[in-house]
Structure 1
Amino acid sequence: MRISGAVAAACAALALSACVTAAPPSCPPGGRERLVAELLFGRKIGDVVGVGEHAFARFVDREITPRFPAGLTITDSRGQYRHADGRIVREPGKVVTIVLDDEARDLPRLADIAAAYRRQFRQESVGVMTRRACVAF
């Protein structure tokens, strides 16, 4: 059986990619490796911005701060996504960044926050991203 050069190269790349692992972040003195979460909240309800600043602040006070009282960062954002009907939807948003202390305890809390936001503001989704980082305060 003869394998073409392109197929052989693809197989070699696949085999090598299995050997690549992400190294833990290098931390300067005082830093520790932690899991950092970013929650992505859209603010449109239908075609209008339905989640105002005051409503979002109340949501943070009621849903996020009690689960993560040690602290968080909120950043204004602008996002876009492709709706099921194919059109591009652009909307203002908020990104909440939280350094997790205890992954087993905190990851379910992130899911609870996302579910509460979807329910309260009739949202299709809330983005939740996590990454390893070196953190020092």
Structure 2
Amino acid sequence: MTTRRATLSAVRVALAAAGATLALAGCGTLPPPGSGGARACGSGFETFERDTLFFGRAIPSGGQVSDAEWTAFLDSTVTPAFPQGLTVIDAAGQWRGVSGEVVRERSKLVVLLHARSEKDDAAIAAIIGAYRQRFAQEAVLQERQAVCVRF
């Protein structure tokens, strides 16, 4: 989205995102209460990070990020940073920008599963920065969770 406080316009979008992510990764054992958040993955699972990036497609000065522009950004910026794979989900979102107006817009969610590393953190920051600059966005929402996966 184009603000730090992005929200999805429909529960079905969130369910679709969760379903698509679960199709790629199995769920492991949740950490026991009081464990300080440390994740203990079950047998056969690995601990990964799941970063979901929310890209709003409305351009503040007018217009939309076209399908061709999105594909070019994905091919030139996101895929080279995460060649091992990713998931792209079409979404509809809304947010309240600095102007105070509620904006509804088409969006893309990119789900990245990766081992936690400074290299990947820097790559994600570069992707967000490139999108913000190229399409004059206020922000790109990033959500991060530790997950258990098996391939």
The TM-score by the shorter chain falls in which range? 0.7 to 0.9
Which of structure 1's runs of 4+ aligned residues deviate more than 4 A? none
How far apart are residue 100 of structure 1 and its match? 1.5
Contact 1:37 1:128 in 2 (8 A): yes
* Shift in alpha-carbon separation, 1:47–1:122, aligned structure 2, 3 A: closer
* Structure 1 unaligned spans of 5+: 1-18
RMSD (CA atoms): 1.8
Matched residues in 2 for 1:20 and 1:88: separation?
Answer: 40
Counterpart check, 1:81 vs 2:95: yes
Query: Which of 103, 123, 132 is residue 137 of structure 2 equivalent to?
Result: 123
- Superposition map of 1:1-137 within 5 A: 21-27=36-42, 29-46=43-60, 48-137=62-151
How far apart are residue 68 of structure 1 and its match? 0.6
* Structure 2 unaligned spans of 5+: 1-33
When Rg is computed on C-alpha atoms for both structures, the one with the higher figure is 1
Matched residues in 1 for 2:38 and 2:99: separation?
Answer: 41
Matched residues in 2 for 1:31 and 1:56: separation?
Answer: 33
The count of aligned residue pairs is 118
How far apart are residue 48 of structure 1 and its match? 4.8
* Shift in alpha-carbon separation, 1:135–1:49, aligned structure 2, 3 A: farther
Name the TM-score, length of structure 2 as normaliser.
0.71
Contact 1:25 1:133 in 2 (8 A): no
Residue type of the partner of 1:98? L
Name the TM-score, length of structure 1 as normaliser.
0.78
